[in-house]
Structure 1
Amino acid sequence: MNTDVAIPFLDLVTPHVELEEELTALFRRVLHTAGFIGGPMVENFEAAFAEFCDVRHSIAVNSGTDALRFAIMASGVQAGDVVLTVPHTFIATTEAISQARAIPEFVDVDEQTYNMSTVMLQRYLEKKCVRDKAGKLVSLRSGRPVTAIVPVHLYGQVADMDRILELAEEYGLIVIEDACQAHGAEYFSKKHNRWFKAGSMGKAAAFSFYPGKNLGACGEAGAITTNDAAMAEKTKMLRDHGQSRKYYHAIEGYNGRLDALQAGILHVKLGHLKAWNEARRERAAEYNRLLSKCDAVSFPWEPNWSRGVYHLYVIRTNDREGLMQHLKEAGIGTGIHYPVPLHLQRAYVSLNYSAGDFPVTESAAAEIVSLPMYPQLTREQQEKVAAEVIAFATSRTEESPAGAESLISVGRSAS
């Protein structure tokens, strides 16, 4: 969060001040009941969030990372299995896979949505895997069984779930959604001819309630969603030391419980999430309108099968440092999500990937810039941001007219 600029990248103060009385009353209630761990506040939030996501079960945990880790562990993925995901995401995605003792392998992202490319997923399954004598799908890279896919609904945009689920069914794979940036996002399934909420389509899904998320706690928090009762029970045990009931441990688990105070805060905020998401969509549409005045800018691409919730509004430029410095000097905060692809991180040297392995991800990682995006962003602020982006593009075009067309692009056009 930028607090030293006129237009911060993220404003976490205003929404909490707006809800101050309600949140303060909640804190007093926790103090007076000493209900710090578990209990009605957690259960009530779980029920409300399950209803919001159109699922049968929601299991509150202490972080989005734990949510994904427990979901993977409870889904049937075994130690040493390969789990497919994307290299263009926060490291928590792959941490959860590794900490579940599985092996992450990558599929490149789509040029337009930045989510998992279904073309590359199909190519991986067809060209980089074989069937062993028992008929199990095995990765040629690691020689290990491939058992699951973790598509990431990045920036609040839902991945192409129809095709991902179709391929998963064809190859016998589990699908676990990383919905940590997609609270309330929706996907239109042509197969079922209806809209689905993010987090309701895979065997399970993981959500993060880190403070900067569309639905954020005042600390760490997360949740698993699922329609599978057995999955729900297993994740409940995993979060609470493997207990089936107090002091009876069916398995060895973890301390991954959500504080009651955070659950209460999330329940209060959940009542505002639909309006906040709609405000984000309105802010995105306004950015699109304002930036349309610049010939060097194209809009973020939102497919007709997705209703994104714009956790982030990401543009691209071949002079990222120049643009960010220009905006900083104009009092505008920015962010980069994410500058180094996971396959090139030092933490994953052992996976033996190299530069050039995932060209779409690498190109995006070198050019992306996140502009201020939050429900309380005003039209005047947006006009200022857009004007400065256009001013930067114009100045660069005047310096180098030949590079005008590629100077800045917002996502990729749908042509």
Structure 2
Amino acid sequence: MVQAFEKVYDSHWYIMGKELKSFEEEYANFNEVAYAIGVSNGLDALFLSLKALGIGKGDEVIVPSNTFIASLLAVSSVGATPVLVEPDAFSYNLSPKNINERISKNTKAIMPVHLYGQACEMDEIKQIADSNKLFIVEDNAQAHGATFKGKMTGSWGDLNATSFYPGKNLGAIGDGGAVTTNKLELAEEIRMLRNYGSKIKYNNEVRGHNMRLDELQAALLSVKLGHLSNWTYERNIIAKLYGEMLKDVAEITLPFVHTDATHSYHLYVIRTKKRDELKNMLYQMGIETLIHYPIPPHMQKAYAYLGHKSGDFPLAEKLSKTSLSLPIWPGMSPSQVEFISHQIKSFFKRN
């Protein structure tokens, strides 16, 4: 990592150089797509994808009701309307069976979010999109390297967005993101939109943006990318150990993995009715946990204009009140997993 930093620093070339080009090629190869375009962050990757597809005012985009707010922000940022769909009760991902009833004459795209690191049921989602002539824009921010039926997340859609936020499985030292695609015309459009609407310097073809991944982040990500498969393997080993340690605790629901999906375990999320009490106890024992996510998008003040109320998306609301993300990271020791699991089991024995 230090060598990568020094190489960029000494090159005196910090934007749109060979480090970015190299990383884009490496990430496209990793993600099994023809093109990857480095951009400023995951939200911008989603925004640019929707904009490149011509989605805007008067259009609708189907988004899961259980997701991080960025999925909706990208839709509203291009002037379109997010249309929420309840997730699957087991995987917590966008449920194919709930999509059709939300499609209207204004629907232009479906945005599957591979939540927590598990791939959505992309074959059915793609079938629905194709039969209704809709675009697919995958939100692949949490699932680097995950697959559905052997095909990588981030390779199913017309355009697909990912994030390299520092906490992601493939994280930069700062913000970063990328758009992946197999379509040359769309890749060129994204490249132009991220760079002031310009292919040639000072020649601006469209009203673009400054949303580029810089050389330093690209160089650091290239180093980390070489370790990502091993890190994902480690995360799966840790998740398996959690499962073995906690399988007999009746009061919690462990993560479910679809038989055709793989999971990159960006997050290890359990569910319990005593979530808040458990979280507080673990904190007192020096164990940090997080809630993903405490307020569903339809209950956020920013989206009050959609007119939703409490009870409109009961499963998303239930998940927001019962989900708890336990610590998981590459290098986490079995003894740490055992200690956390022991504290959880002891809590429920006492309660």
- Determine the structure 1 residue equivalent to 2:55: 77
Q: Contact 2:24 / 2:38 at 8 angstroms: preserved in 1?
A: yes
- Determine the structure 2 residue equivalent to 1:67: 45
1:15-69 per-position Cα deviation (integer Å, ceiling 9, x unaligned): xxxxxxxx11111111211111011100000000000000000000010011111
- Determine the structure 1 residue equivalent to 2:146: 185
> What 5-or-longer segments of structure 1 have no aligned partner?
1-22, 130-136, 138-144, 189-194, 397-415
**Secondary structure of the structure 1 residue equivalent to 2:99:** helix
- Determine the structure 2 residue equivalent to 1:302: 257
Distance 1:79 1:97, change over 3 A: same
> Runs in 1 of length 4+ with deviation above 4 angstroms?
none
Give the counterpart of 2:74 among 96, 100, 112: 96
Taking the aligned partners of 1:389 and 1:33, their CA distance within structure 2 comes to 51
- Determine the structure 2 residue equivalent to 1:163: 124
Q: What amino acid does structure 2 have at the position aligned with 1:180?
A: A
Aligned-residue Cα RMSD (Å) equals 1.0
Taking the aligned partners of 1:244 and 1:261, their CA distance within structure 2 comes to 22
- Determine the structure 2 residue equivalent to 1:228: 183
1:332-374 per-position Cα deviation (integer Å, ceiling 9, x unaligned): 1100000100001000011101111111111111110000011
- Determine the structure 2 residue equivalent to 1:116: 94
**Secondary structure of the structure 2 residue equivalent to 1:30:** helix
How high is the TM-score relative to the length of structure 2? 0.98
Instruction: Kindly indicate whether residue 350 of structure 2 is the aligned counterpart of residue 395 of structure 1.
Output: yes
Q: What amino acid does structure 2 have at the position aligned with 1:252?
A: R
- Determine the structure 2 residue equivalent to 1:10: none
Q: What amino acid does structure 2 have at the position aligned with 1:268?
A: V
1:205-220 mapped onto 2 (5 Å cutoff)? 205-220=160-175
Taking the aligned partners of 2:286 and 2:326, their CA distance within structure 1 comes to 12
1:13-412 mapped onto 2 (5 Å cutoff)? 23-125=1-103, 129=104, 137=105, 145-188=106-149, 195-396=150-351
Q: Contact 2:159 / 2:180 at 8 angstroms: preserved in 1?
A: yes
Q: What amino acid does structure 2 have at the position aligned with 1:225?
A: T
Distance 1:253 1:279, change over 3 A: same
Taking the aligned partners of 2:64 and 2:238, their CA distance within structure 1 comes to 28
Q: Contact 2:85 / 2:99 at 8 angstroms: preserved in 1?
A: yes
1:119-146 per-position Cα deviation (integer Å, ceiling 9, x unaligned): 1112323xxx3xxxxxxx2xxxxxxx11
Structure number with greater Rg is 1
Taking the aligned partners of 2:98 and 2:248, their CA distance within structure 1 comes to 34
**Secondary structure of the structure 1 residue equivalent to 2:87:** coil
Taking the aligned partners of 1:217 and 1:265, their CA distance within structure 2 comes to 7
Taking the aligned partners of 2:245 and 2:253, their CA distance within structure 1 comes to 11
Q: What amino acid does structure 1 have at the position aligned with 2:112?
A: P
Taking the aligned partners of 1:388 and 1:270, their CA distance within structure 2 comes to 34
Q: Contact 2:39 / 2:211 at 8 angstroms: preserved in 1?
A: yes
Q: Contact 2:252 / 2:271 at 8 angstroms: preserved in 1?
A: no
Taking the aligned partners of 1:109 and 1:294, their CA distance within structure 2 comes to 25
Taking the aligned partners of 1:292 and 1:31, their CA distance within structure 2 comes to 50
Give 1:98 shift: 1.1
Taking the aligned partners of 1:163 and 1:282, their CA distance within structure 2 comes to 29
Q: What amino acid does structure 2 have at the position aligned with 1:183?
A: H
Give 1:298 shift: 4.3
Give 1:315 shift: 0.7
Give 1:204 shift: 1.2
**Secondary structure of the structure 2 residue equivalent to 1:306:** coil
Q: What amino acid does structure 2 have at the position aligned with 1:393?
A: F
Taking the aligned partners of 1:308 and 1:211, their CA distance within structure 2 comes to 19
Taking the aligned partners of 2:50 and 2:253, their CA distance within structure 1 comes to 38
Q: What amino acid does structure 2 have at the position aligned with 1:291?
A: L
Taking the aligned partners of 1:336 and 1:49, their CA distance within structure 2 comes to 30
Q: Contact 2:94 / 2:113 at 8 angstroms: preserved in 1?
A: yes
Q: What amino acid does structure 1 have at the position aligned with 2:168?
A: K
Taking the aligned partners of 1:294 and 1:108, their CA distance within structure 2 comes to 27
> What 5-or-longer segments of structure 2 have no aligned partner?
none
How high is the TM-score relative to the length of structure 1? 0.83
Give 1:184 shift: 0.3
Give 1:79 shift: 2.5
Taking the aligned partners of 1:27 and 1:297, their CA distance within structure 2 comes to 44
